[in-house]
Amino acid sequence: MHFFLLPVLSLLVIPLRVFACEGECITGTTNQFILLMDSPVARAFETIGELIVNKYLNSDHERGTKLVSSKWLLEPVTSAYKNEAPSSLEYAIFPSYFHGKCQNPATGQEPKGCPNPNCPVVCGTPGSLVHFFSNLTGIVHYATMNTAMAAMDPHSASFRAVEKKVTTHLMRKAASRSSRLLRYRRSSVPDASSINRQDVRLGLMKIMDKFPKVLEQCCGGSGWPDCIWEDKMKKYILSFP
């Protein structure tokens, strides 16, 4: 009797190795994609910032001399993006798409290649992420773009902060111009209150709406070929059990 109990008891005390993308695999995969996307996203934000600066903050004779940094101008937006990107991307990948077991419910068996290295079932294992890698990168691209656009939503605090920077700069410039010209053209000089905030808001929205196309260009155009990193990411993902 004791000979039969010992193997059973040993199974209870020896931890089973779990083949799933959990814990470090989830956070590691998410953070690795964020790290790789950091450069193209930063370039896209810089382009948007430059468009705003050139339209609103540098007058014709000032262009070429950057009085306002696009990085400083968009700092509220870029900070909001960086704060939200990890949790938003993680949720978009796990568990929104990749989750659960790979077993066939009817047979209780896992298909060949599951859990690793190449699992043809959408489930929560590294092998599944590798098999459906094109889906995975599509999720990364879409989630990244959505998080960035959320930071530029007109109702967001980050958008309003950028809007305030622009209107404040315009009002100061208008006030300065008024003080210089007041003694010459008192009746025709615009004062600071003439800044049309609604026009500024609509203009900012129009520029920020260009972000998806700009980010696509920063990633090599249609299909985002420069933002795939297939070999690098597959190797990284399969480093987890």
**9-65 pLDDT per residue, tens:** 444 444 444 458 999 999 999 999 999 999 999 999 999 999 999 998 875 445 455
- Whether 153 is covered by a domain: the verdict is yes
Boundaries of domain holding 163: 20-101+109-181+188-237
Half-sphere exposure of 88 (CA within 13 A, CB side): 20
- Whether 3 is covered by a domain: the verdict is no
Residue with the larger pLDDT of the pair 226 and 176: 226
Predicted pLDDT at 58 = 74
- Whether 11 is covered by a domain: the verdict is no
Distant-in-sequence contacts of 54-59, Cβ < 8 A, 24+ apart: 55/203, 55/207, 56/166, 56/169, 56/170, 56/200, 56/203, 57/166, 57/169, 57/170, 59/173
Question: How many structural domains is the chain composed of?
Answer: 1
- Whether 13 is covered by a domain: the verdict is no
Predicted pLDDT at 18 = 45
- Whether 32 is covered by a domain: the verdict is yes
Residue with the larger pLDDT of the pair 196 and 226: 226
- Whether 132 is covered by a domain: the verdict is yes
Q: How far apart are CA 58 and CA 211, in angstroms?
A: 21
Please check the confidence at residue 2 and state whether its pLDDT lies above 60: no
- Whether 10 is covered by a domain: the verdict is no
- Confidence label for 177 from pLDDT (cuts 50, 70 and 90): low
Work out the mean pLDDT of the chain and round it to a whole number.
85
Please check the confidence at residue 171 and state whether its pLDDT lies above 80: yes
Q: How far apart are CA 118 and CA 95, in angstroms?
A: 19
- Whether 7 is covered by a domain: the verdict is no
Q: How far is CA 228 from CA 18, 172, 238, in A?
A: 28, 45, 16
Predicted pLDDT at 8 = 41
Please check the confidence at residue 148 and state whether its pLDDT lies above 70: yes
